Structure 1
Amino acid sequence: MKKHNLHSYAMTRRNALKTLLASGFSKALLSSSPLISGLLLSRQAQANTLPNKSIAIYIPGGGIHDMWAPSGSGSNMVMQAMSSSYESVKTDCNFLLNMNHTNAGHGQMPRILSNSWSGSGVDSYDVYMGKQLGAELPFTYVNLGVHSNGKGYLTRDGNTQIPFEDNPFTAFKLLFGANTGGSAKTPILDAHADAVNSIKNQLAGYEVERLNEHLDAISDTQRRLDDLVGSSSCSAAPDSSEFNLTFDTFSQQARLQADIAVAALKCNITRSVSIAFGNHQCEFRIPELNYTGSYHQSIHGGSNGQANYPYYTEMRNHLGSFTAYLIQKLKDENLLNSTVVIETTDMGHADKHSSVDVPLMIAGGGSAMFRGVSTPTGGQYNQLDALHTAAAVCGVNLPYGQQIPGVLT
């Protein structure tokens, strides 16, 4: 695939802001609302023709090859018990078969998105992609989680490990809230009102339409956040206080984080997002399933001695449904062709802590990659090669790993 120089269209944030200031937009306006600055800075990336957005998803606990690996292609692709949750989006995915892992097992989170344990100045995949694709945007990268903190890190900016933002309410305020303060009872959208009204007469018609679409998307996410709060013991959406997010709402939190990720990409607030659904210790539970114990227990002994691991299968398949939800959300928002999604994990068969037959998948990418297929890799490639290949879909040369043949068109 033809390479392109990202820096030929990605201005530095300083130069981009300088251009906007020269066009009559005030510094106070740009700093008060990530939504507004993201919209305006998106003008700098109009020349990009390859996918220019990235999402990295981490699902702990691997998967059992014969229960996960799809067969066939296109609409005739046959999903298995652990992958049936991808049925609705299977034609948008490239399932990588026979993949290896360099450091399989629990406790491997630092090596999921990186080739280094300690850093040594090497950015993790999500940080590197953010710096290459959107260094000029309000947030270079966004790393979200669902009960992910406390057992390691995925994201590393140089030598600095970055904790997950596990609280969707905090993430929402950080990304879409204005930095100008105000009453805790003021809806987040109201904080943008002055900024929106002050620039509408300076925008092209299509930009006004896009801005209205962004506000609609944010309003819908705000409503869902309010609904979750309303069903809890908390009487109002959190401002500076923490909200007690429990395992009982794990699935709701996961889908809300997916909504926030998609809205952040659509509003051009960032071009790189990572989401972890849990952490390597797999201590969470999902009470609406048949099996209500911990994910870790479902893997090791929680299947009541049955060789087909029914509880592990049920929980792993449910976790995959969050990825499918996010992919469908990107598709609904007309973002999937411009976004590459990679789903990662930390091992193959988790009860064996296996380093072979690791279930990895790349989705989206428009015409830059083959979709609706399973790609056999011959057992010659690992998770770092999957990251390298996903980056290559966007024309980015990740400094570790190698490209897997048969994925890019």
Structure 2
Amino acid sequence: MATQQMRAPQRIKLYRWRWSGKGPNGRRVSGEIVAGHKDEVERELSGQNIMVKTIRRRSSLFGGVGKIKPRDIMLFARQMATMIRAGVPVLQAFDVVAESLKKPAMRSLVQELMNDVSAGSSFSDALRKHPQHFDRLFANMVEAGEQSGSLDRMLERVASYKEKIESLKGRVKKALYYPAAVISVGVGVTALLLIKVVPQFESLFRGFGAELPVMTQMTITLSEFAQRYWLWGIGLLIASIFLLRQGMKRSEAFAYRMHALSLKIPVIGDILDKSSVARYSRTLATTFGAGVPLVESLDTAAGAAGNQVYERAIRQIREDVSTGQQLHFAMRLSERFPALAVQMVGIGEESGALDAMLNRVADYYEEEVDNKVDALTSLLEPFIIVVLGVLVGGLVVSMYLPIFELGTVL
């Protein structure tokens, strides 16, 4: 137990410090330094002949520590590949990369990796201690690179892989967020009109002493309902989102049903479907091409699919392949993958160029996702304009109808 505690990596806390002072010529200078303590900042600045005036630690809300994102991991892999290719030893490469990082959280992570490697761990073992930042693919590729003496090439492959995966994720998010954002704005504007604007007209109409048009009466009734229950509506929406997320976290069966349902949504389901095929193909091509055994590569690809329906299907494919079946036949048996993808994988297996063919499958379906997202955006724009026009225009017309009728009477 004590040995395990000693082996646990010590967490290095770094912060971003904002400083100002005077340089050697009396010129005012300022900047930012990433360090653990104020004393370290003072020592570094005094070494540069700078008279320090103020040093303040930036708040975490304004980039004081920063959150590690997939893009940071991708840049780290590319920087390490460049350093190692240039002949820089791994430990020195860690030090150079850490010095160039401006995000304290990422710099802390790199320093922890450097400490582990300097203590005798391999690069891949050090990565496996941080599974929340470095997935199995990253660790397996680095391990393959260490064993084959091509660490720089493997790191470059990881960086390229993550770049393509993040690009694909961005396209899928665009397909999901764009309509949701526009519809939210439309609902928000309509709610604002019902809660704030319509009541002003209602007080005006009371002085007319005449029966209001049916459309206006419906709008006023809807406005009264919105004024009475808008807080309940917001609370119900927030509670529904919270319960949905918690349900997906706590129940694997519920999460699977939600993922299966998302694949059946018109247009968006097709985008999610093709993106899962692309991510599976890209991950499998990257790991298998790096020399990782196919069964283990399939295990990594299952975790990278991004959808539990595909994850379960890939794990079944892994079981079938481990019993001796060919990959393309196991993919056909899963009944999840398109015929084109299955045929191309079969050709790759027969020709001995499986990784190259899987990359072509990934390229094809990534382009399909891109085209589908563009088509969805083009289709949604006129549809959303019409919906917003009907919502907002209908409210405005219903409010001005009594005024128009009053004008004709006079």
Coarse TM-score class (shorter-chain normalised): under 0.3
Of Structure 1 and Structure 2, which has the larger fraction of its residues in strand?
A: 1
TM-score in terms of structure 2 length: 0.23
When normalised by structure 1's length, the TM-score is: 0.23
Structure number with the higher helix fraction is: 2
